[in-house]
Each structure stands twice: as structure tokens, then as C-alpha cells.
Amino acid sequence: MRTDLALPVRLSDYRAPDFLIDEVRLDAHLNGSDTRVEAVLSIRRNPAGRPGAPLVLDGDELEPLSVELDGVTQPLGDVARPDRLTLDVAGDGPFELRVVTRLDPAANTKLMGLYRSGSAYCTQCEAEGFRRITYFIDRPDVLSVYTTRIEADVTEAPVLLGNGNLIESGKIENTSRHYAIWQDPWPKPCYLFALVGGDLGVVEDSLVTASGRLVKLGIYVEHGKEDRAGYAMDALKRSMIWDEKAFGREYDLDVFNIVAVSDFNMGAMENKGLNIFNDKYVLALPQTATDIDYAHIEGVIAHEYFHNWTGNRITCRDWFQLCLKEGLTVFRDQEFSSDERSRPVKRIMDVRTLRAAQFPEDAGPLAHNVRPETYLEINNFYTPTVYEKGAEIIRMLKLMIGDDAFRRGMDLYFERCDGTAAVVEDFLSCFAETSGRDLTKFKRWYTQAGTPSLTVKSHYDADAHRFTLDFEQTTAPTPGQPAKEALVIPIALGLITEDGQEMALVTPDAGSPGGASRREAERGVFDLAEPRRQIIFEDVRSRPIPSLLRGFSAPVNVHATTSDDDLLILLAHDSDMFNRWQAAQTCATRWLLRAVKALRAGEPIPQDTRLADALEAVVARFEQDPAFTAQVMLLPTESDIAREISTDVDPDAVHQARKALRRLVGERLSTRLKTVYDALAPARAYSPDAASAGRRALRNAALDLIAAADPEAGGLMAEAQFNAANNMTDQIGALAVLSHIPGNAREAALDSFFRAHAGDALVVDKWFALQATIPERETLARVRRLMTHHAFSATNPNRLRSLIGSFAGGNQTQFNAADGSGYDLVADTVIDVDRKNPQIAARLLASFRSWRSLESKRGALAEAALRRVAGQPELSPDVRDIVERSLRQ
């Protein structure tokens, strides 16, 4: 393991590579622990590099067998170390470097470079995994054309896959081995390299592109699981067609392959023409996958395919520009899913994810810019900030400049930057050109960490028929950034009458006090580019209710003076579906904050039933949009409440407050909920389409609230649903309800579920996760027992995430147990896993990101656990980076 103290990498220190590698010819002999890779590199000096600089190639735990430069053998001891190869070369080249390395893929528990997943050989090279295969200038701005020859025993690995197109294959005479040669004609960085060798089943299909080209499609899975890849193939074909229509992007190779593996550190990888996936984002049957799983498969398949242009054809110059490919591609996959499903519901779900994952990151010690300025370990920056907040920046840009200018900007970006390694400035310049807008201030979203707070005050002058909104933005200091500048915040808004009618937006001219441009008033989108702005609306004949930040037009925290009664009018009448949902969330959050305050003061919880009554009115209209109704009925999570409290958080009080609100809503809506539950009885045949998924989501939400009010009756209903379910969504929904009701029925259902699905790893992951999130004191002991279960493996990332990750991220009361035992469990796991898989260990450790917001006793215990991790003698750079940033002041 690399345990050296890494030096920080800084954006300001960027310099062009001293050498370029135009062509790579790889010959991979897959042969168990004696796997050998021969790399032939065509290298030349970069005119933009340092004259006379030595040739330095990166390595990581490599075993070199031979090195030749232009046919001359080099002394290994002089030029090659496990982590570096250095050669003094004369002239500008081109040079031919031939290197042979020996690998043991089965021993590679880091799952970076070439490793084994089950019996298959596979690779993961982003961000810096290629250097674990051979020596290379391992950085994204070195673009090369790759030809890969793969050789293996035909029995062990009858399937041999590489990047690009297959140009040759055959048997090797007088041996049991065969080979395949793949060539990718498009220059790419080494992080997009991939190969796979194994005994795999395949689902095949094809698609004719808009220009009439035939593309062969293949999804490779373990034998016997071919029937679970059908939905992934359908999602792939829909993604390809959508990208042609929405962005004008056509696929550029003859084949597109996906391989699903069970051991993978991430979700999936967009290697050119050969995507490698965590199998949880490929495999689905109604009996094994939930509606959420189907939606995730659709989204991740689309995301990785869309990378073909936003990430592969145009890559990033350096890893500081990671958001340029990831944030943009998340935006694209969100738009795809919005078009394929319900746009309002998709937006609500995306904002839930943003607030749950990214807002806490922005508020804690791990906060960083969307485009960081420095890093110690790049693997730790595949974060919600880069992905989700990065996507929000693209969404704001599109809203600000309009659909037409945005599309023309994307077209210009593809035209201008195709085949290059780009930076954020390259991207933004295209939109500045097509829109005529100065985006200098807007770029601050990339360079400034933290979630802005938007304070809104309103005043209605009935005599003057004038309504005034005063906006003020502030951003709290974050590590390394004590002072903040004003951002450009697009505020989409509307005005609603008390009887629910939309008002026209009439403002003074732009040059007048409180004025706005005609374009702003017509579109209902107003830019806040300074710390404060006042907007005056004229000819307002009755007191309006402002509908603020429609569609969640910017990733900010809003603090407005809108009353609960006005919010309930918005819930009933706002034309913006997102803000209808947001009105319910805001009312519920206020109720919960009052309840937490009362509980901590030893006082009774105020019994305000207005929210429950308003929710009943929403449920009464459930047939209009069951999916949206289900989202409204999902109350703020314990993490949501803790984030709103922000300091001196008591997780037990938060849990009790939410439990009380669920019980109140369940009691007040009992009859209505049972009517909805019965009305949404499942169809005989399962379909994963959005409408059917919405009906199941609402039915399960109703069951959850029924059980919250009456555990006995709800438990019996859940048992019946569990036993009768013909799909995983309904079965796991019922089991989730039962898991919160202690007793024999729960344990019997859990045992039954495991016995029925013991042979399916992805379903067993659900079994582990469900038990890890039971909010009871005994859960810690349960988790420890499960860690010794024969189905648990600490070397499988999915299994670790399902048990330990779910406990730390989804069980606020027990992870934050008052005696510190939850922190100790996670810290112990991190220390152990770090020796085998530093990436997964670091991600588990990031569950401590909000420890400073806890009440003092818990905060001290969390800090002690972090310091114990920090004190370990041989930490990986991954974990050391996270723990040191978590503890910094």
C-alpha cells in the first residue's frame, strides 16, 4: 500500500506535459497471477513542455520485467521503480518505448487497474488506475490512439473485449489460447482504457443511427443473468436516440458494449465503447429490482452513454476540471430521465438528492469548490459537489440564457472542443458567445464553495397596488475561503392570489428603483448578481403570495417570511409543481423544528393539524398524479431536519419529532390513506413505467403512514402485502414497514426474505441495508452479527455499502448513538478496509462529514473516533486526506 504523505496538487501549478504519446499498442496476456502486459508507446516531445526534461512515466505497485527505448534494453534498476519510470532522452523524438510488466489481478483488492471480479478479468482506470497496468504519463491531457491485443485461455475467458472496434480475432495454434485485437480510432486519455476477459453471457441488439449507420450493441453479464439485462438494453437504445434528438450527438463506433461486474468501486465507467458497470445498475427483474432500481439503471446507463461526447470526445484537461464532464453529464442524464418520466417528479427527486448529499458537504469540513483549486487524493473528489452541484450550474446557465442560446452554445462547444482536453473557461466561452452575456461573475459558482443563503422579505402596499420583494444573498465561510463574493443567482418566481390565480408580473423599467428588464418580467426569471436586490411589482390589485425559486432555479437555502397559511395556498394552487411540493416540505420542516425545540425543553409537542389537513386535500386528488402525491407525502428526513437545525443537533430528538409527525399525519388521514391503499391494489402484471411506479410509490407511502399511526393494523397489512407481493417494490416496501415494528413478525419476514433470495447478491444487499437502518438501540449489535454472516464480505464494495454505508448514512440515531458506539463501529471498519480498498474506506469515513453540527457530547465522541483513525500508523492517502480535512478547523 502507498502510505507516503502525498504532496498537494494545485490548479495554479498546471503545466503542459513534457511529452505526448500519440499511439499505444498493448498486448495483454491474461494468465492468472502471471499476467503480463507489453506496452509499446510512440512518444514525442511536447513543444509546449520543458525543453530537455527527462521522460517520466507514472506507475503504482508495478513489477517491471523489461524496458526498451528505441530497441535498446534499459537497466531496470536504474530507470524503473514500482511507482515511476525515468529516462533521459535526447532529441524531440519520436521515440518508441517498449515496457513489459507482470500483474496479479486476483491480488488487486483495490479494484483499480486490472483485477478479477469473480472469474472475469476487468479494469478500472479512472482516475489513476492505468498506471497500475503499465507505466504511462497518467493524466487526462495526454490523448492517444489505442490498439489492444488481448490473449487468454479460451476456456477461462472465451469473451475478450476492448475499446473501439474489433479488427481481428482467432485461435493461437497448438495452444488452448485465443486472442482478439481491438482498435479505438479516437484519441483518448488513458483513464478511458478498458479490457475485459471472461466467460460471460451476452444480450445482443443493434441500432441504426440518424445517419443510417448500424451499431451493434452488447450487454455482457454472468451466465444465467441474461434475462435481467433487457431493461438496460432498452434504456441504452432510448439514450442513444434521445441524444441524437436533444443534443445532435450520434454514436461514433461500430459497436457499443457494456459489461456488468459484481466488484466495482463506483457506479459505472464510461470507457470508450466498452462501459464497465457495477451490476446493480444493469440487472433487473420485477422479482429482484425495485422501481427505484429501474430508474437508477435508466439514469446510469444514460449517464455513461452520454459521456461518449461529454467526457470522451471532449475530455478534461486536468482533474480539477472533473465537473466539466461529470456535472454536465449529470445534467444531461437528468434531462433524459425527465423526458422519459415525469419532469416535476424527477426534479423533486433530484433536489432531494442534492440537499441530502451535497448541501451537508458544502456545510462541513469537506466543503470544496465545484472546480477545486487543490487536492491530495483525486479519488476523494468524485463528490456530490462535483456531480450534483455541477449539474445545477449547467441548469442555471440554461435558465439564464434561454433554451435557444443554450443549445447553440452546446453545439459550438462540441464543434470547437471536439478531440481536445478542455477547461471550464472553454465551455463557458461558448455560451457567452451564443447568448451575448458576460459570464465572468457566473463563473464564481465553479470557484466558490458553500451553499448560499437567500433571504427574502416582502411588503404589500395596498394603497399603491405595489408589492416589493427584497433579496439578500450570503454565503458562510468554508475551509480555505473565509470571504465570499456575490454569485449570480437566477430567481424564477411568480405571484399567486389568495384564491390561487396567477398574477401578471409588471415591473418598473430596468433603470428605475426596483426595476427589471422586460425579458426578466416576461420570463419570470430575475438575476440576483449583487449582495442585494429589490424588485417592485406594480398594478398588484390584491395581496399576492410569492412563489419563489420555481423549479428550484438555484441551489440555495431560502429563508422567506411566507406564512404557513400562505404556504398551504401554494401547496393547493401553485402552477409550479416543484413549489407545491416545496410548500409542503417547508410547512413540515417548521412543524418538526418546533417539535424538536419542545422535546429538548421537556415540553409537549404543539399539535398543529393544519399541515395534516392540507395533505389530506392533496391525497383526495391522488388520481391526478399518484407519483407527485407520493412525493408530497414523504416527510422531510431526519437528515433534512438536522441540516435545518445546523448546530447543536440532537439526533434522538429529531427522530422523536419526525415519528410524532408521521403518527399525526397517519391518524388524521387514516380513512383516506386506507382508501388510497385499496384503490391502488397492484396490477397482475408488473411494469416499470413511470405511471405504474408512481402508483406503487403512493401505495407504499400510505402503508408507511398507516403503520406509523397504528403499528398493529399497519403491521398486519404489511405482512399481507409482503406475502402476496409479485414484485420487489411491493415486497421490500412491506418489509421496510415491518422492520420498524419490533416482534416476531419482523424477524420471520426478514428470515423468509433471505431464504427466498439468498442466491441473489443484489437482493441480499437490500436485506443487509434494511436491517442496518432500523432505528433501535439493538441495531448496532445486529450489524455486528451481520458482519459475521456468511453472506457478508468486507472485500465487496456493494456489500460494505449496503451494511456499513447504510448504517452510517441512513440510521441517524444509531450511528450517532450517545455512547459513541456507532462512530467506533464505522471507524473500526474504515481502519480494516483501508488496508484492502482505500477508496471504499475513504467514502465510508466521509459519513462523519457533519460531525461538527452535533451537540457537544456526541461531537466530542465523533472527533475522538476520527482522531483514532488519524493516529493509525499506515493510512492510505485516500483516508488520510479525508480524516485530516474532517478534523481541520
Instruction: Give me the long-range contacts of 474-483 (CB less than 8 A, separation at least 24).
Output: 474/531, 475/448, 475/450, 475/451, 476/363, 476/450, 477/450, 478/362, 478/367, 478/368, 478/449, 478/450, 479/365, 479/367, 479/368, 479/449, 479/885, 479/888, 480/373, 481/448, 481/449, 481/450
Selected catalytic residue, list 304, 361, 377, 392: 304
CA atoms within 13 A on the CB side of 480: 14
**Inter-CA distances, 59 with 113, 129, 190, Å:** 11, 9, 13
Q: Are 413 and 309 in contact (CB under 8 A)?
A: no
Average pLDDT over residues 532-551: 98
Q: What per-residue confidence (pLDDT) applies to 653? A: 98
- pLDDT > 70: percent of the chain: 99
Q: What per-residue confidence (pLDDT) applies to 683? A: 81
Q: Express each pLDDT in 25-82 by its tens digit.
A: 999 999 999 999 999 999 999 999 999 999 999 999 999 999 999 999 999 999 999 9
Among candidate residues 725, 669, 727, 728, the one with its CA nearest the CA of residue 701: 669
40, containing H or E segment? strand 35-45
- The DSSP bridge partners found for residue 113 are 124
| Strand residue runs (E) in 462-585 | 466-474, 489-492, 494-496, 525-528, 532-537, 545-547, 557-560
Q: Return d(Cα 201, Cα 182) in angstroms, integer.
A: 20
Average pLDDT over residues 229-257: 98
Q: List the grid coordinates of 30.
A: 491474461
Residues 6+ apart with CB under 8 A from 139: 17, 189, 318
If you compute the radius of gyration of the chain from its CA atoms, what whole number of angstroms results?
A: 28
With bands split at pLDDT 50, 70 and 90, how would you rate the model's confidence at 545? very high
Q: Is the pLDDT of residue 670 over 80?
A: yes
Q: What per-residue confidence (pLDDT) applies to 889? A: 79
Whether the bond into 127 is cis, omega within 30 of 0: yes
Q: Is the pLDDT of residue 2 over 80?
A: no
Q: Is the pLDDT of residue 707 over 90?
A: yes
Clarify whether 304 is annotated catalytic: yes
Q: Are 9 and 67 in contact (CB under 8 A)?
A: no
**Vertex 370, ends 367 and 375: CA angle to 5°?**
65
Q: Express each pLDDT in 458-512 by its tens digit.
A: 999 999 999 999 999 999 999 999 999 999 999 999 999 999 999 999 999 999 9
With bands split at pLDDT 50, 70 and 90, how would you rate the model's confidence at 836? very high
Q: Return d(Cα 375, Cα 381) in angstroms, integer.
A: 8
Q: Express each pLDDT in 574-606 by its tens digit.
A: 999 999 999 999 999 999 999 999 999 999 999
Q: What per-residue confidence (pLDDT) applies to 757? A: 98
**Vertex 112, ends 302 and 267: CA angle to 5°?**
25
Q: Express each pLDDT in 246-292 by its tens digit.
A: 999 999 999 999 999 999 999 999 999 999 999 999 999 999 999 99
Q: Return d(Cα 512, Cα 533) in angstroms, integer.
A: 12
Q: Is the pLDDT of residue 5 over 90?
A: no
Q: Is the pLDDT of residue 159 over 70?
A: yes
Secondary structure class of 369 (helix, strand, coil): coil
With bands split at pLDDT 50, 70 and 90, how would you rate the model's confidence at 684? confident
Q: Express each pLDDT in 610-643 by its tens digit.
A: 999 999 999 999 999 999 999 999 999 999 999 9
Q: The pTM is what?
A: 0.98
- The DSSP bridge partners found for residue 42 are 23, 96
- The DSSP bridge partners found for residue 494 are 547
Q: What are phi and psi of 199, to 5 degrees?
A: -100, 95
Q: Is the dihedral of CA 171, 175, 176, 179 positive or negative?
A: negative
44, containing H or E segment? strand 35-45
Average pLDDT over residues 7-21: 97
- pLDDT > 90: percent of the chain: 99
Secondary structure class of 464 (helix, strand, coil): coil
Average pLDDT, the chain: 97
Among candidate residues 431, 316, 300, the one with its CA nearest the CA of residue 371: 316
Q: What per-residue confidence (pLDDT) applies to 3? A: 44
Q: Is the pLDDT of residue 171 over 60?
A: yes
